[in-house]
Amino acid sequence: MAIAWRLPILILAATATAAAHANGTAPTQVIEPEQWAVALNLTDATRAARAGESEQVGESQPLGTGSWRARLVSGPPGVVCPGSLEPKCRAVDLVIENASRNILECSAQLTLADRHQQAPVSRPAVILPASYRIALHLALPPAVSVAAHEAHCQARPPLPPLDNWPKCVPRWLRGGKLSDYYPEISERRGEAGPVMIQMTLTRPEGHPGSVSVVGSSLFEHLDKAAVRFVENSVYAAPCPGTTWRFPVNFELAPEPAAPASSG
């Protein structure tokens, strides 16, 4: 039976900023669990700078080329509560860390509760090798708590290798800002992530042809926007007729802080 009520939960979707990685390369080293702090920039100094946050770190889950794990990070009240009468919310992030050579397809879920009821909030996420992603980013009013959290990930099957010259890498020349292509509906929903694109250049310089998605972000609007961005861009490479793959990564900007009380 469908749930007929909603907790006052606000998914943050601030102004979008994004960057495309045009060389198609990704880290290939295996990161051991004890190296996470350095490889993922989660050092003690970084944590100390985020005063008032608490963490719940899950156990590492093995993969063939490494492992992954989930972290629940909860901050003190201090972010804007969009569309709410609450003056301040606290940010809650479910972070998935990928310490492997695989691209991961994940499902993240938070079970939220107030005094009367509980409701799950879930979202898919794609995490590139040797990186991390905030799979769920919520703003919670003081009366709402996280009753449970979980994440499930599996390695995406690798794509067949391309028969091209490794040293011939396309350069992005012009075509507008990727943030201009961020779909408004995706911003409102808080959708983000990488789209793996495949394209071919038929000339030393120009618009690419045969642009397609070979690795979905798991969000349809982002996939279509990535294709439009690449098709409208101009690239250059000294080896026309070559096909490349690379991720186009859509990222949301951090949420604004709530104004300090005047009293």
Answer yes or no: is pLDDT of 11 > 80: no
The pLDDT score that the predictor gives to residue 5 is 30
Tokens of 79: 């972010």
The pLDDT score that the predictor gives to residue 168 is 84
Tokens of 71: 């972290």
pLDDT class of 27 with cuts at 50, 70, 90: very low
The pLDDT score that the predictor gives to residue 85 is 58
The pLDDT score that the predictor gives to residue 137 is 85
In whole angstroms, what is the distance from residue 202 CA to residue 240 CA?
A: 5
One-letter amino acid of 165: W
The pLDDT score that the predictor gives to residue 29 is 30
Mean pLDDT for 72-92 is 75
Burial category of 205 from C-beta neighbours within 10 Å (exposed 0-12, middle 13-18, buried 19 and up): middle
pLDDT digits (tens, 9 = 90+) for 180-200: 999 999 988 889 999 999 999
pLDDT digits (tens, 9 = 90+) for 30-79: 333 333 333 333 333 333 334 456 778 878 888 878 899 999 988 877 77
pLDDT digits (tens, 9 = 90+) for 108-164: 999 999 877 888 889 999 999 999 898 988 888 888 889 999 999 999 998 898 887
Domain ranges of the chain: 27-158
pLDDT digits (tens, 9 = 90+) for 206-260: 999 899 999 999 999 999 999 999 999 999 998 888 899 999 999 876 544 444 4
pTM of the model: 0.74
The pLDDT score that the predictor gives to residue 124 is 94
pLDDT digits (tens, 9 = 90+) for 98-110: 999 999 999 999 9
The pLDDT score that the predictor gives to residue 254 is 56
pLDDT class of 25 with cuts at 50, 70, 90: very low
Mean pLDDT for 170-177 is 88
In whole angstroms, what is the distance from residue 121 CA to residue 151 CA?
A: 12
